[in-house]
Structure 1
Amino acid sequence: MSKVKESVEVEVPVHTAYNQWTQFEEFPNFMEGVERITQIDDRHNHWRTKIGGVRREFDTEIVDQLPDERIAWRSTSGDTKQKGVVSFRRVDEKHTRVELVMDVEPSGAAEMTADATGLIDRRVKGDMRRFKDYIERRGSETGAWRGRITPG
């Protein structure tokens, strides 16, 4: 299993960065290789990706969520094995540090090659830069807060 870690500082308040990240169906707008995410309910999503010509489908479950602070998930079924956490830390009123830590287990020859050559790490770093550009360009989160779970 490979560990990938990346952080970016975005020029939006913490609640804006967090709320955008909970809009899982918007991920294809900034995550390379993500074709579609279907939100099943508040805790479950179905992903369809295509990376290096290989299509994968898998399901994820949010296992921990603290509004404006963190979201942790794990894959539950399908072609991809991963788990991770994204954290949001207020820098000041208009800036947020977003940190992503992921463990990814390559599931086939293409993924093993991508992992060995550092492609997975570069892809995640690029996705984080694209998230920064996406949210800063918008200045606010998209749509309703469908992915937000209230504590308790």
Structure 2
Amino acid sequence: MSTLELHVDVGVPIDTAWENLHQVENYPHFVDGVRGARTEAGGRAHLEVDAGGRARDVEAEVSDRGERVMEWLSVGAPELAGSFSLQPLDKNHTRIQARLEYDPGSVRDTFGGPKGFAQTNAIERLVRSDLEHFKEYVERG
């Protein structure tokens, strides 16, 4: 498994950022390649993803752990796990720490794309872009 950790500081209170991360239905607004998303029973999320020209449904188990930590784990391929950890910087600013654990072979088999170092760079760019889009999304209100 490979691990990626990135963060973004957003200009909204922690409660606003937390609420927006939990609104799975809005993920298509800021997560590249997500065409549809919904919350399902039992703490699951269903995402309709288009990546590398391939359409794919991705299911994930989502749970809250501790103070302002949301964890998720994909059900089936690709093998993905991650978390969002929120920390207040002050009353109007929040740091969002994203952690992604993935099996490079599983990601390539599911979505295609480059191998090795190029794949790692592509995934990092994608996650960084999604965090920036989330920042823009929540700061617009």
Report TM bin, short chain: 0.7 to 0.9
> Which residue matches 2:37?
37
Alpha-carbon separation, structure 2, partners of 1:119 and 1:54: 16
> Which residue matches 2:117?
116
Alpha-carbon separation, structure 2, partners of 1:133 and 1:115: 31
Provide the aligned C-alpha RMSD in A: 1.9
How far residue 38 of structure 1 moved from its aligned partner, in angstroms, is: 1.9
AA aligned opposite 2:101: D
Gaps of 5+ in 2: none
- Say yes or no: does 1:98 pair with 2:88: no
| Structure 1 runs (4+) greater than 4 angstroms displaced | none
How far residue 110 of structure 1 moved from its aligned partner, in angstroms, is: 4.9
Partner of 2:123, secondary structure, is helix
| Selected match of 2:79 from 65, 78, 81 | 81
| Identity of matched residues, % | 29
Alpha-carbon spacing, 1:125–1:114, altered in 2? closer, same or farther (3 Å): farther
Q: TM-score, normalised by structure 1?
A: 0.81
Alpha-carbon separation, structure 2, partners of 1:51 and 1:4: 19
Q: TM-score, normalised by structure 2?
A: 0.87
Gaps of 5+ in 1: 139-152
Q: How many residues of Structure 1 are paired with residues of Structure 2 in the alignment?
A: 136
- Say yes or no: does 1:71 pair with 2:74: no
| Selected match of 1:135 from 134, 138, 141 | 138
